[in-house]
């Protein structure tokens, strides 16, 4: 199977993003997207694509789309090819807004709750899509400590092979990443990729990482790449894999 994870930057670079999704859809089974607009949103930046979820649904007619709201008008989304049978879909809140009072505000908006999407395929593979807390130069904070504790509980409550992807807003040397590595293999660790951010990200030189892919030990990775396509201020992660059992 092939999976792509990408923070879309709310579709600010929409036409290149559209072409990228169209091209990748030819042989991709699952897309996990972060920063997906789906209606009016008070914290919007200039150039965001307000109806991005609807537009991606139109780009991917052979996929089933699942959207989970973080705040009205923005959230995360996973698209699964129609030929793949799904046993269950659910979303969990990992952090609530009231737990994020110390987080720096972005564009004067209140902090986003942090949610995770969990899709269990009929073949018992778990796909988890997540967008973590921002700010504090992507270092360890008490909010990230709580976030990681809850993520680990979610992972431990699931049986069968697991893939966890998304924009974690974390640097590789954090305790948060170390704790997740106790549960799953971090595909970024030991890879030759130097960044998961595109040239559109002004802090790429000092904060080169944000996006990760973690897999359980029964996942066999045939190919892992950070794709060079500049369709967002993030770069996409690509996983080609199968699993044991």
Which pLDDT score, from 0 to 100, does residue 108 have?
A: 58
Q: Residue 92 pLDDT > 60, yes or no? A: yes
Which pLDDT score, from 0 to 100, does residue 43 have?
A: 82
Which pLDDT score, from 0 to 100, does residue 82 have?
A: 98
Which pLDDT score, from 0 to 100, does residue 230 have?
A: 98
Tens of pLDDT along 130-175? 999 988 899 999 999 999 999 999 999 999 999 999 999 999 999 9
Q: Residue 107 pLDDT > 60, yes or no? A: no
Of the options 3.40.50.150, 3.60.10.10, 3.40.50.620, 1.10.1040.10, the CATH number for the domain spanning 2-243: 3.60.10.10
The pLDDT confidence band at residue 110, using thresholds 50, 70 and 90, is low
Q: Residue 98 pLDDT > 70, yes or no? A: yes
The pLDDT confidence band at residue 111, using thresholds 50, 70 and 90, is confident
The pLDDT confidence band at residue 77, using thresholds 50, 70 and 90, is very high
**187-209 average pLDDT score:** 97
Q: What is the domain partition of the chain in residue ranges?
A: 2-243
Which pLDDT score, from 0 to 100, does residue 76 have?
A: 98
**Average pLDDT along the chain:** 95
- Check residue 129 and give left, alpha or beta (phi > 0: left; psi -120 to 50: alpha): beta
């Amino acid at each position: 199977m092939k999976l792509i994870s990408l923070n879309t930057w709310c579709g600010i670079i929409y036409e290149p993003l559209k072409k990228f999704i169209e091209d990748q859809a030819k042989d991709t089974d699952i897309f996990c997207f972060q920063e997906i607009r789906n209606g009016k949103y008070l914290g919007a930046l200039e150039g965001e694509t307000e109806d991005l979820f609807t537009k991606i649904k139109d780009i991917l007619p052979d996929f089933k789309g699942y959207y989970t709201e973080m705040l009205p008008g923005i959230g995360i989304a996973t698209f699964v090819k129609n030929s793949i049978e799904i046993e269950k879909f659910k979303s969990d809140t990992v952090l609530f807004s009231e737990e994020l009072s110390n987080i720096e505000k972005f564009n004067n908006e209140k902090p986003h709750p942090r949610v995770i999407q969990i899709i269990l395929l009929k073949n018992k593979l778990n796909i988890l899509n997540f967008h973590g807390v921002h700010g504090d130069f992507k270092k360890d904070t008490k909010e990230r400590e709580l976030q990681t504790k809850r993520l680990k509980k979610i992972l431990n409550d699931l049986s069968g092979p697991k893939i966890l992807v998304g924009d974690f807003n974390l640097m590789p040397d954090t305790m948060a990443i170390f704790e997740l590595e106790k549960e799953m293999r971090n595909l970024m660790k030991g890879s030759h990729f130097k960044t998961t951010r595109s040239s559109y990200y002004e802090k790429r030189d000092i904060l080169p990482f944000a996006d990760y892919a973690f897999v359980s030990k029964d996942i066999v990775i045939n190919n892992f790449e950070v794709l060079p396509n500049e369709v967002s201020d993030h770069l996409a992660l690509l996983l080609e894999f199968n699993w044991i059992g």
